[in-house]
Amino acid sequence: MHKIIFLIQCDDRKGLLATISQYFYSRGYNILHCQQHSDTRAKRYYMRIELDLDDLKTTRKELQEDFAQFASDLSLTWECHFTDYRNRIAILVSKTSHCLFDLLSRQHEGDLRCDIPLIISNHPNLEYIADQFRIPYYYLPIEKGKKAEQEDKIRTLLAKHDIDLVVLARYMQILTAEFTHEWSGKIINIHHAFLPAFQGANPYMRAYERGVKMIGATAHYASEDLDQGPIIEQDVVRVNHELSPEGLKQVGKDVERQVLSRAVQAHLEHRIIIFDNRTIVFNAEH
């Protein structure tokens, strides 16, 4: 069954659930699933509502124009998504392969419902993985003083392939503020540490030096501030004093894979609402 998904947020007040539900009921839509959250501290209301796409009696544009008028009257911020559309993802990598291979495998098996038309890297090392999955691999090295030129090439490729989401699968480069602003809410990064601890480079070495008893990974939307964008997903695993920095890295790989794939899946399933520098991530249906 294909669905229409609305993500809605606004200042919290009484009657929102009834008013919004009545809007869809009055237009003949069957509400398949509805999730909501009221943040009493921020006085903010969030809603994710699923409708049966078969109930659509107008064009999609007309639906969105009509809802836009309704939303304006209530001061709603909203998005509308149709699940018969497959999002197109560009994966950016450097030299580390485990997150890339995991995403490609999950997409190949149908666990991630999307298309991956290209992989971009600042190193040639991982082209063999792209070849295994028959996905074009673009090697765009970064020459000293020419980072902006390399990002322009990335922009051109993203536009050419109609990309909806960029995934940084251990892409070890800092994106410019201009780039992150252009793709705000559409770049997911995996950081190999449990943020806000150990931001930046080489977190496993710093975790070792600190003698931590847990290591983790964090998937977040990229922002101009390094490793400080809205957090989507996190997880940890217990470790002990016997592990070297390399041992911590090996243990951490599996956590990184799982955290990144869960974050990408939540984005693809339209379960995330961003407000300020936080996310509301609704649970997946079971």
Q: 140-176, pLDDT tens digit by residue? A: 999 988 889 999 999 999 999 999 999 999 998 989 9
Q: What is the dihedral of CA 94, 98, 99, 103, to 10 degrees?
A: 120
Residue 76, SS3 per DSSP: coil
Which amino acid is residue 207, in one-letter code? A
CB 222 within 8 A of CB 176: no
Higher pLDDT, 246 or 87: 87
| pTM of full prediction above 0.75 | yes
CB 157 within 8 A of CB 138: yes
Q: In which residue ranges of the chain is CATH 3.40.50.170 found?
A: 87-281
CB 138 within 8 A of CB 124: no
Please return the burial class of 1, using the count of CB atoms within 10 Å of its CB with bins 0-12, 13-18 and 19+. exposed
Which amino acid is residue 251, in one-letter code? V
pLDDT at 196: 61
The Cβ of residue 268 has, within 10 Å, a number of other Cβ atoms equal to 20
Give the pairing of strands 87-93 and 165-168: parallel
Helix (H) or strand (E) holding 72: helix 60-74
pLDDT at 197: 65
Catalytic residue among 73, 227, 235, 276: 227
Binning pLDDT at 50, 70 and 90, where does residue 259 land?
very high
User: What does the mean pLDDT of the chain come to?
Assistant: 93
The Cβ of residue 83 has, within 10 Å, a number of other Cβ atoms equal to 16
Angle between helices 16-26 and 60-74 (to 10 degrees): 150
* CA–CA separation, 39 and 33 (whole Å): 20
Angle at 284 between CA 130 and CA 253, to 5 degrees: 40
pLDDT at 54: 97
Phi and psi angles of residue 211, each rounded to the nearest 5 degrees, phi first: 70, 40
Domain made up of 87-281: CATH architecture: 3-Layer(aba) Sandwich (3.40)
CATH of 3-82, one of 3.40.50.300, 3.30.70.260, 1.10.10.10, 3.40.640.10: 3.30.70.260
Percent of the chain with pLDDT over 70: 97
Binning pLDDT at 50, 70 and 90, where does residue 212 land?
confident
pLDDT at 241: 80
Binning pLDDT at 50, 70 and 90, where does residue 91 land?
very high
Q: In which residue ranges of the chain is CATH 3.30.70.260 found?
A: 3-82
pLDDT at 200: 65
Q: Is 115 a catalytic residue?
A: no
155 Cβ partners below 8 Å, 6+ apart?
179, 182
Mean predicted confidence (pLDDT) in 197-224: 80
Binning pLDDT at 50, 70 and 90, where does residue 198 land?
low
HSE of 174, CA atoms in CB hemisphere, 13 A: 10
Q: What is the dihedral of CA 34, 36, 45, 42, to 10 degrees?
A: -170
Phi and psi angles of residue 140, each rounded to the nearest 5 degrees, phi first: -125, 90
Radius of gyration of the chain (CA): 21
Beta strands, E only, 12-141: 31-39, 44-52, 77-82, 87-93, 114-121, 137-139
